[in-house]
Amino acid sequence: MTSDAGKRILLVDDDEALLRTLTDYLVSEGFEVVQARDGQRALSRIDEKVPDILILDISMPVMGGLEVLKRIQTPDGELRCPTLVLTARSAMQGFFRGIAVDGFLAKPCSQEELVGTIRQILGAKEVKTRSNKRTKRKLLVVDHDPQRTLQLQQVFTEAGYELVVVKTGPEVLERSLQELPAVILMPETLPHLNGSVVASLVRTMPSTHSIPIVLYDETRGVDDSKFAWRVPEGVTALVGPIDPWTLLAAVEKALSV
């Protein structure tokens, strides 16, 4: 076993023989390998659990690799996971210099070259992760929906945030004083105290009055977005129809104000 034991690789290719060969070799090198035979299945695998590295073919049925790259791009232009493009289309190497992939290999390549490139990318990721840990921003997340909380934890942790999760308005007041987070993210609808009320109370406390607060209102429909919304007093940003990536973008914008 190597130090890479347990590292999760998502291997995406429509060539079944290649999938079997590479999977056997990578497993023998200590990696955990998950397979997908097209881009659509790859996206489902990533949603289930983000891999330590994605090895992605470009030409595939159903959904090709370029569309996968578009779908896993974050608001700041990064990809949700380190990505190595492995394709027979060697002429595309120049094209990928302008895209946020971590590596490019043309097929056929040797198994040793593939593993060496994988380890190089994983090593760079570990260095970046250690650096991010030294500069992590603390985010106080308020949500009483367990499924959404898990989604938020995954997205914001990947983006370099340290999360403190609470469920009620009164907990926000207590933990914001204890933790002094860089930003507070919460829904309008909360048990005991609504988010807008909590925001106004946070603003009254000297040690927390300057913390940016992003409020999201899940009761607003998509069609409501064309109307001007009144941002409650004390709230930095009000977001309507939501998904974790929209909330991440709102938090990043609030921190830059």
Q: Is residue 174 included in any domain, yes or no? A: yes
**CB distance 229 to 203 below 8 Å:** no
Quick one: 200 and 228 in the same domain? yes
Quick one: 86 and 180 in the same domain? no
**How crowded is the C-beta side of 86, counted as CA atoms within 13 Å?**
25
* pLDDT single digits (tens) 100-128: 788 888 888 899 999 999 998 988 877 66
Q: Is residue 80 included in any domain, yes or no? A: yes
pLDDT at residue 224 greater than cutoff 60: no
Quick one: 79 and 160 in the same domain? no
Q: What percent of the chain has pLDDT over 70?
A: 85
State the chain's mean pLDDT as an integer: 84
Query: Of the candidates 109, 130, 151, which is a domain's last residue?
Result: 130
* pLDDT single digits (tens) 25-35: 999 999 999 99
Quick one: 200 and 140 in the same domain? yes
* pLDDT single digits (tens) 200-209: 999 999 889 9
Q: Is residue 1 included in any domain, yes or no? A: no
Quick one: 126 and 15 in the same domain? yes
Comparison of pLDDT for 132 and 187, the residue scoring more: 187
Quick one: 109 and 14 in the same domain? yes
Quick one: 122 and 143 in the same domain? no
Q: How confident is the model at residue 212 (pLDDT cuts 50, 70, 90)?
A: very high
Quick one: 168 and 114 in the same domain? no
Which domain covers residue 238, as residue numbers?
Answer: 136-256
Q: How confident is the model at residue 63 (pLDDT cuts 50, 70, 90)?
A: very high
Cβ-proximal residues to 101 (8 Å cutoff; 6+ apart), any chain? 69, 79, 83, 84, 85
Query: For the residues 142-161, what does the mean pLDDT come to?
Result: 85
